[in-house]
Amino acid sequence: MSAPKQAMVLAAGLGLRMRPITDHTPKPLVKVADRTLLDHCLDRLKDAGVEKVVVNTHHLADQVADHLKFRRDLQIVVSHEAELLETGGGVKKALAHFGGQPFYVANADVLWLNGPTDALNRLAMEWRSDDMDALLLLHSTVEAYGYSGPGDFLVDPLGKLTRRPEREVAPYVFTGVEILNPRALEGTPDGAFSLNVVFDRAVEAGRLYGIVHDGEWFDIGTPHGLDQAETYMAQRFPGVRRR
């Protein structure tokens, strides 16, 4: 298939681990290398040919919505959640905007830099709608900036994913970036639920796949992760002002 022209950015979270920064600033508007995380994400989507983006909001929603008014290079739809719906519920609420076509999903609290090939275009090239419910962008667990968890997935030679065995470390962590098939949401709960519900069902059906990112990836869920990202970006792009 051709690369998706639509995407959803998950920007509704409370940012509890980022406090006190997020007491007054929504996490998507936290800056790295003098640009908000949300704009970094939208820039990557625009560069990959995306034309329409749905952004969900909840915490300090007015700030996010006001910020988005300045983006003239994308068609942006705000999907406000009066009650937080988590990742799965937020995507399900917005499904009508995608016309039944596969679309990118990206978390607003991560930052990725492309390797030799644009990461989103790599996902599009590997996407097979008949075989996949979701295609996840993964990163090496031990090489991820700001991440200290045990990883998420194992990958077989064909790219099919299985969950990390209990009490073990998995080689790959989910980056928060993927292509999602709308039909994967069929039969999911109403209200709030995690996209992990979708992933677990896809694993059982043999329809969850992944590719490994060949660039840098930063988990910016905590002040420590933010500092790591800022330090790296300042070294790589010395002319960019830090926050």
* pLDDT (0 to 100) of residue 243: 47
* pLDDT (0 to 100) of residue 239: 61
Q: In the chain, where are the structural domains located?
A: 6-236
Task: Please check whether residue 52 is in contact with residue 6, taking contact to mean a CB–CB distance below 8 angstroms.
Answer: yes
* pLDDT (0 to 100) of residue 240: 58
Q: Where are the alpha helices (DSSP H) in 103-166?
A: 119-126
Task: Please check whether residue 110 is in contact with residue 175, taking contact to mean a CB–CB distance below 8 angstroms.
Answer: yes
User: CB under 8 Å to 219, separation ≥6 — which residues?
Assistant: 109, 110, 144, 145, 146, 147, 173, 225
CA 127 → CA 33, 95, 97, 206, 219, distances in Å? 32, 19, 20, 15, 24
Tell me the C-alpha distance between 230 and 81, whole Å.
Answer: 30
Site of tokens 């968890």: 149
Q: Please list the rounded mean pLDDT of every run of 10 residues in the chain (243 residues).
A: 90 82 87 91 95 95 93 94 94 96 94 94 96 97 91 95 92 97 94 96 97 94 85 75 50
Query: How large is the greatest C-alpha to C-alpha distance in the chain, in angstroms?
Result: 50
CA 126 → CA 49, 101, 132, distances in Å? 16, 16, 10
Domain 6-236 has CATH 3.90.550.10: yes
* pLDDT (0 to 100) of residue 231: 85
Nearest to 192 by CA among 103, 96, 82, 97: 82
pTM as predicted:
0.93
